[in-house]
Amino acid sequence: MLQKPKGTYDIYGADAQRVLYLKKLINVLMEKYNYNYIQSPTFESSEVFHRGVGETTDIVSKETYDFKDRGERSLTLRPEGTAGIVRSFIENKLYTSSMPVKLWYYGSMFRYERPQAGRNREFSQYGVEVFGSESPMVDAEVISILVTLFRMLGLKGIKVNINSLGDSQSRMRYRDALVDYFKPYLDELCDDCKNRYSKNPLRMLDCKVDQDKEFMKSAPKISDYLTEESKKHFELVQKYLTAMDIDYVVDNNLVRGLDYYTHTVFEVEADIKGFGSQNVLGAGGRYNNLVELMEGPSTPGVGFAIGIERLLLALEAEDIDICEKNLVDIYVMNLSEDENEYMVNLVNYLRLNGYCVEMDYQGRNIKNNFKHADKISARFVIIVGPDEIKKDLITIKNNETKEEFKVKFDELLEFLDEKISED
């Protein structure tokens, strides 16, 4: 029997309804914040991610799906959204637009890692990217989107963890301090951190293997190496979060796993039963140098990403049901095949006028048709027979009260508008 690849999944039934509801909610939220939808290719030139995400990140060094096409071009399935969006921003000259350019995306990402709950090799990600503004108000706004989404979904205990990685000067000073500090402990570091020591020592602070070692807890803090400008930016971000009534905690060890971040980095978590210390549901930060690194004009940026599967698991753990039941307005049945043509015409007419309509495709008898109408939660049932066609009357029943009506065809829409608005 053919089966799906390991680390992938099918979405159907109630799960599909939850995903659709979440997409709808995100779309509404993005309209309120005035963000525009953008879609980039599922695969890109490998250089987009190797340059944009960074060679020293685990995503590129261990997890990307890299392949060559028939033209021997090196391609990569996108492991995250930002690098591809930046490439699109540059290639399509969106930097000529009025700033800031505020974008959001939703789509599949791919990483080769050990599949586990909420982490698959193909997964869906929702994210936002804002280009063209260095204002700390934008940092706070981007954070507020995640907080607002989680509040709308009914999650509790929402908290923002923030840190600042500063500007290029701050990072260089901090990098030198970390190199000096960790030098005596090189033999005690895990293999990944030994590699990071020379390439990107800030990533050592993000290590899950060495994080509980005493020397790791006593490592220098980035806050001691920030320039005055970087400090001011970070202070304003905190003020704006407070102004929006958003709780936050400054976490000096928060560096995020991607090389391109500068200034503000953040994670947003909620109090989820059974998730333990892994309550972070979305994260992101500012990347003022990434557009230029990818051969575009110097353009500041900030954004976040959230894994949809992990969010759905969190909602399930909190017993928050976002499964929208498909409410069928009208179920149409006929008494015999002689009425098929009339029934098809009637159903199409009702759909074109905005009603959710289902009909009998199986040739069920009356009893089974009413059972099916109950099963799909139809609000009204229309019965089409020879008398109805002959007299140009529609027999319609309220499937809940069982009240029956006879309505002229040209008065049907007015009748339905009135009755459905009453429910």
Distance CA 407, CA 414 (A): 10
pTM confidence score: 0.86
Distance CA 74, CA 144 (A): 38
Distance CA 143, CA 234 (A): 13
Pairing status of strand 248-250 against strand 159-164? parallel
Distance CA 308, CA 106 (A): 9
Distance CA 151, CA 68 (A): 43
Q: Look up residue 63 and give its two tokens.
A: 């997890």
Per-residue pLDDT of the chain (423 residues; tens, 9 = 90+): 999 989 888 999 889 999 999 999 999 999 999 999 999 999 999 999 887 665 556 566 678 899 999 999 999 999 999 999 999 999 999 999 999 999 999 999 999 988 777 678 999 999 999 999 999 999 999 999 999 999 999 999 999 999 999 888 888 888 888 888 888 877 777 877 777 777 777 777 777 777 777 777 778 888 888 999 999 999 999 999 999 999 999 988 787 656 678 899 999 999 888 776 678 999 999 999 899 989 999 999 999 999 999 999 999 999 998 887 778 999 999 999 999 999 999 999 999 999 999 999 999 999 999 999 999 999 999 999 998 888 888 999 999 899 999 999 999 999 998 887 666
